Each structure stands twice: as C-alpha cells, then as structure tokens.
Chains A and B, each alone.
Chain A
Amino acid sequence: MLSRSAQGLYWMGRYLERAAHLSRLMQLQVETLVDRPLREIHFGWNRVYSSMNQLPPAGTLEAFGSDDYTLADSYTLADHLTFEPTNPDSIWNCFAYARENARQVRNYISAEMWLSLNMTFLRLQGLTIQEIWKTAPESFYAGTAKDIATFTGVAEATMYRDEGWHFIQLGRYIERVQLSASILLAQIAAQDRQDESFDADWANLLHVFRAFDAYVHSYSVVVQPGQVLDLIVTDELLPGSMRRSLDAVSSVLDAIGSGPSPGAGRDAAALSASLCAVVLDGSNDVTSWRATLDQVNGDSRKLHQQIMDVYIAYPLESLAIR
C-alpha cells in the first residue's frame, strides 16, 4: 500500500489510543475530585501530566502539592487536557488528528469505521469545558472512551485484515506501550517522592488499566505495588497489559513483512522481539522495575523510528528496482 497511507493509518491508531487513554485518566480524575483528599487529587493531576510527558499551563508540576489552588483550578487543567487547541495532546486534538488522518485514508478503512469516527468528531465539535462541567463531566469522558471502544469494535467487525489493518494495530499498540511505560514510571517516581505509599493511588492505577478485578482475582484485595506492576506489565491474560501489546506489535510486524529492504525490516522485528523478552522477565523490586520500564520506553520510541524508516521514509538507493 502507499507508504503515506500506511503512515496515516498508523497515526490514526496512535491518536485514537491516546484519546482513549486520556479520556480514561480524566474520567478517573474527575471522579476523584468529588470526595477524595486533596493529596490524592494533586497526585492524580501529577500523574496525568507526567504520563503524557507534558507540563500543565502553569509550567510546573511542583505547584500541585502546595495549596488548594489545584482543586479550584481543576477546571482549567481539565480544559487544557480536553479542549485546548494549542495542546497537541488534548482529547479534542487527538480526535481531530485521528479524523484528519482517517479522512485521507478513507478508502483503506471500512465505510462503517469512517462513519463511526466522523460522528464522534461531530459530537465533540463545538463542545466546551463549560458545557461538560455543568453536569457530570465524568459521563463526557466515559462517553468518549466508549465511542472509541465502539470504533474499535466496528473496526474489528468490518475491516478487511490487510496491510492497512496491520498499520492501525501497529500504531495502536506502540502508543499503548509508550503511554503505559510513561504512566508506570510516573507512578514510581511519585511514590519515591513520598514517604509512605498510598494504596488508593495504586488501586486507582489498576482502574486505569481496567485491571482491578483481575488483580483481586489473581492476588488479593490488599494492593501491593510490586504485584500491581507485575500484573500490568507481564500478565498474559490482561487485555491492556504491556506484554500483550508488545506481543501484538511482534505479530503485526511479522504479518506486514520486512518491507523493501529486508535487512532493516529484520532489525525492527528483532527489536520488537527483544522488547517482548524484556517485559517477560519482569522485575523484583521497584528499582529494577524502573530500569525495565525505562528500557521499554526508550526502545519503543526507537521501534517507532525504525518502522518509519523501513516502510515509510526508506532510502531509495537501496532498492532493487534501481
């Protein structure tokens, strides 16, 4: 398929995954605002921004712990993360970019997928933070996450499993790995800064990954950071685990094939396989978890670049046709 179209599908997958992740985080954070202690609220905002590798409009994350400012200003932060046009990772922008990519590759996705995405785009278009804040903002975020889940389901049910499909999956899973690594690293860093560990923060993290029930089922109702990390990173059955995402990346790369220059294609497949091995090993203590996640974080970015180099912006000199 046309390289630029593959790139469009890949980014569509990434942006939708980012929008889903942020919607989920925001839904939990907005729920926290209702009745949780200030410390937890501060922690939540801190984690949202760290996991998106961003700074809040005030420019620093430090202010969060200092006073009641955060609670009063949740409205501004939510706006910044949801609708702010200058924030490239705001939910609205993720949708707009996903839809813009989808519009250009409309002939590679199913008509139902386009319709589903465009309808969500039209629903969000023109909404403001004032409007969603008036009643139950969590239902807005839940609705948005649900729309993306619907899109994913529609895609599952209607799209031909060709190269286009594989590039969407590639984008989706690489984005998921990077977002997961970032949020877990942010959680570990936040814990390091505090003297005591709060169960609520780790339980909340389980909810981000929709892993709470699985955790209770596999371990116990007592939440222990090491076990939480073990479940989210290495579990074979948890749909959103890093391991499953990385396995998916490997199989997708395998299905796509090695591209025009087989050497480079094999390098990307090898990097992907080594990432799978890294997470499979897991870790025993928080320090080694950090090293593992740092490696996943760095290598998954490298893998993104390799994918671009292999299939999209490959050098022409090496091609057989010349």
Chain B
Amino acid sequence: MDFDAYDLDSAFYDEMFLPDGTPRAHCRSLHESLLRLPVEELVRMQERVTHSFSSEGITFTVYGGEEADERIMPVDCLPRILPGADWRQLESGLAQRLKALNRFLADVYGSARIVEDGVVPVDLVRGCPQYRVEMRGVPVPHGTYVAVCGTDLVRTNEGFHVLEDNLRVPSGVSYMVANRKAVKANLRRLYRSCRVREVEHYGRMLRETLRELAPRAENDPCVVLLTPGVYNAAFYEHIYLAHEIGATLVEGRDLLVDGGYVYMRTTSGLQRVDVIYRRVDDDFLDPLVFRPDSLLGLPGLMGVYRAGNVTLVNAPGTGVADDKSVYAYVPDMIRYYLAEEPLLRNVKTYICRRPEDLEFTLDNLRDLVVKRVGGSGGYGMLVGPESTPDEREACASELRENPADFISQPVLDLSRAPCLIRSRAAARHVDLRPFVLHGRQTRIVPGAFCRVALREGSLVVNSSQGGGGKDVWVLED
C-alpha cells in the first residue's frame, strides 16, 4: 500500500506522519510494513476481520426505524500507535482526574465543602438532573463512587484534551479487546516486532476491582452484571464482560429484595448477591426511588444499597460529575482536592446557563459544537460548521428556551490517522477512550478504544452515527 495520495493536512495532528510527510519515529516499522504489503492483501485482511466479527456475533444495536438493527462495529485494520512516553503522560493524568472526581462525589454527597468554598456553583450541582439526593450521606466502599471510567480524549496540534469523563456506564471496552484480537491475528509479525503492551487482561483487572468493593469480607463475593437486556446497544459487551469477570449476567427480573438483601433466582433457589456491576442507568435502577415506570431495575434495590448490603458499581449519582457543565470545573477540582496542577487539559467550554456564555454561543453557532448537558452517544448535538441554517435556527430556539440544558465548545481539530478506505489510505478523525478502574487502587490497561469517524471530514466518532473502531498499540519503552 502506498501513501502517495494520502491527504496530509497540517491543520490536524496526524497520528502517523509528521507535517513534512515522514513517518513519526514510533510508526516507522508500521509504515514500512504497510509499504511492503500489497493493498489487495490489506483489503482481504479487512474482510477477514469483518467476517470474524460477524461470525462471532460482535455486534451493537442501532435504533432508528421501527426495528432494532444488529450491526457489526466497523473496524479499521490499521492500528493507531502510541509511544510509551505519551501513554505514561496520559496514565498519570487519567489517574489524577479520577481521584479528584471521586473526591468531588464524596464531597457533594457529604459536606459539600467545594460548594461552600465557592469553587463550583451550588446551582450547578443541585440543579443537575444527575444529582441524586438519595445518595446524600451514603457511605461507599473506599470512597469509590466511580470504579469504571471511560474518558474521551482527543489530540490536536496542542496535545491531548479531555473531551468528556464518562462516569456512569461507559462502554466500548469489549471492542478494545476484540479489535486487538482481530488485528493481532492478521498482523502477527509486525505486532511481535513492535513490542505492544497487552490489553487482554482488562477482565481480570475489573474482577479484582469489583471484589475489592464487596460489602462483606468474603473470599468469593457473588458478583453479577446487571444488563438492561438483549435489546440494549451494548449487549455484546455485557456478555463479554460477564464472561471475563466470571459474573452471572442478570436482568432486573432475575433479582429480588428480601429481608434487606438482594437475591437472584437460580434453579436451586435464591442466591445472595454482593456486588452489582450495573450497566443500567440510574433512572432505571429502582422504580421505588427513581423512574416508577422502569421495568429494568429492581424495586427496593436502593434501600439495600443504602444499608450497605450490596455494592453498586458505579454508584448511583455519579452523573453529577460527568455532566457537561460540571466538566468545565474538573481542573479546579484537581487543584482544590489534590493541590496539584491538572496533567490533562480540558476543552474550553461555554456553559449556556451563564448569560454571557449563552450570548457568545448564539453569536457563534457556526463555529461551535453545541451539546446537551445530559446527552450521550452523539444524539442531539449540533456541529456548527457541518450544520444547515435550519438546524442552527432550531438549535438557537432550543438554546433560548432551555439554556441550562446546553454547553458549547469550539470545534476541535481532532487528530487524524490513516484508515483503509476504498482500497487506499485516507486520513480520518479519531478519538481515544481509555478505561480507568478504581477499587482500592487505580488500575489502567495500556490501551484504549479508538473511535474513528469513517465518513470523510466527519468529526462524529460515535458508533451509532457512522463511526468505527481501531486498535490502539501502546508500545513498551
């Protein structure tokens, strides 16, 4: 495969090439191998990878029309490489950030010092729909509210930025592992020669993390993974993770509360449950406390949780810390709780509940990305430069009506990486979602789910919106 027609553009950081078109030092062997490989071979490899995903049922579900559609996550077989030094910098930044976020959660559900000291505005916390009064004063094991975090990072010419902290039910880790397995099997020699760090032990690390959080001192706590069910977009991931951590995959209807404990219904009777790794949103966890119409959760669960007889991972109410408005204050939290300077940058964020930020946003809609504070999955967001006047008008009227529901950010020049598109190498925008675990201690696998906006020029990397995945190779030093 050659890179003669590769569209290098200095406006964007390229993950493989320097601005002068020579490969970056850590990408040289990948570049050389790709030059040697006939493009037909790469196309065949791409087909093999896609075929293996299909036959193994590595799918996600998309909702659009009347029916749910089970789709394969498109995976681009050219890996994205991160040198060891880059990774170390990210690793410490991510750990620092999660530490501060857990302290923030303990604080806002406890004495609310940060609010009293005026670092974070009180209305932002209390007015956040994800703030759960039910969590006030509830002790959580080791102060770990967020045990599993999937941080979205993007790289520009200025370096890495945190785009979003996903602290509720972050997904994508199964694709990190699946992409690795598929790409490794197809680029065997190159993989071996590059000395890539492993990611396949994520499941073991997650299992250790969950065990550390069990409410009773038992050698073998009963851990279950609570899924909304087979129609959930991430159901494959739930199956995969349940298998990896040796947990039973349950739905709300398999559980019941009795005498202050949670049990699951098994063929030999009821079995007590200690830890619930829940992949169900707060709203649906317990119809007696949150949404009364929820059929996905378990009535009485919050009562057992508050009594300390079961652990929920992540804890309910963590959404207050990954709210898109609260996000703007994370650097301040790091300074406040840890007395350290943030190691990872935030993206400049305009909080539309502030009149001056709203005005700025309305005046600059063409150049900004507008996001709903509680939204996710790329749904309901406006990308200014790609929008039509009608879309901007609709967005503006929504902004005027409910300014507190929105934030805006400058359009980021997301870095690009070469992808195999229609039998040639083409630059596509990418992001990076590493996963950070925290039980008693912090654990991070050296890898990430890299999302790719497969449509030319697109900045939306979400799989539900035409995005795909890429394997990330973190190199040993």
Binding site for B on A (CB under 8 A): 1-6, 100, 103-104, 106-107, 114-115, 118-119, 122, 163, 167, 256-257, 259-260, 311-312, 316, 319-322
Contact = CB atoms under 8 A, between A and B. Distances in A.
Interface in B227-269: 230, 235, 239, 242-243, 248-251, 253-254, 256, 258-259, 263-269
Nearest to A102: B57
B402 interface: no
A107 B243 CA distance: 6
B267 A259 contact: yes
The interface residues of chain A, by DSSP majority, are classed as helix
Interface in B327-341: none
Contacts of B250: 2, 4
24 contacts: A2-B249, A3-B254, A5-B248, A5-B249, A100-B230, A103-B57, A103-B235, A107-B239, A107-B242, A107-B243, A114-B56, A114-B57, A115-B56, A119-B55, A259-B267, A259-B269, A260-B267, A260-B268, A260-B270, A319-B270, A321-B269, A321-B270, A322-B258, A322-B259
Contacts of B269: 259-260, 319-321
B224 to A, nearest CB: 9
Contact of A122 (B55, B243, B264): B55
Contact of B266 (A3, A103, A115): A3
Interface string B34-78: 000000000000000000001111000000000000000000000
A103 B235 CA distance: 9
Contact of A4 (B253, B259, B268): B253
Residue among B243, B251, B266 facing the most chain A CB atoms (10 A cut-off): B266
Please provide the 3 A-B residue pairs with the shortest distance between their CB atoms, ordered closest to farther. A260-B269, A311-B267, A107-B243
Contacts of A322: 258-259
B241 to A, nearest CB: 10
A63 to B, nearest CB: 34
Contacts of B268: 257, 259-260
A167 B267 CA distance: 10
A247 to B, nearest CB: 22
Given A104-B230, A319-B269, A4 B258 contact: no
Contacts of B54: 122
A118 B230 contact: no
Interface string B261-292: 00111111110000000000000000000000
B267 A106 contact: no
A260 B249 CA distance: 21
A3 B248 CA distance: 11
A321 B267 contact: no
Contacts of B263: 321
A135 B304 CA distance: 63
Contact of B254 (A2, A114, A257, A319): A2
A122 B230 CA distance: 18
B422 to A, nearest CB: 24
Nearest to B229: A104
Contacts of B259: 322
Contact of A256 (B242, B254, B265, B267): B267
Given A2-B264, A256-B267, A115 B55 contact: yes
B57 A118 contact: yes
A118 B55 contact: yes
A106 B256 CA distance: 23
A260 B266 CA distance: 9
Given A256-B267, A259-B269, 5 more contacts: A1-B266, A104-B239, A106-B243, A107-B249, A321-B269
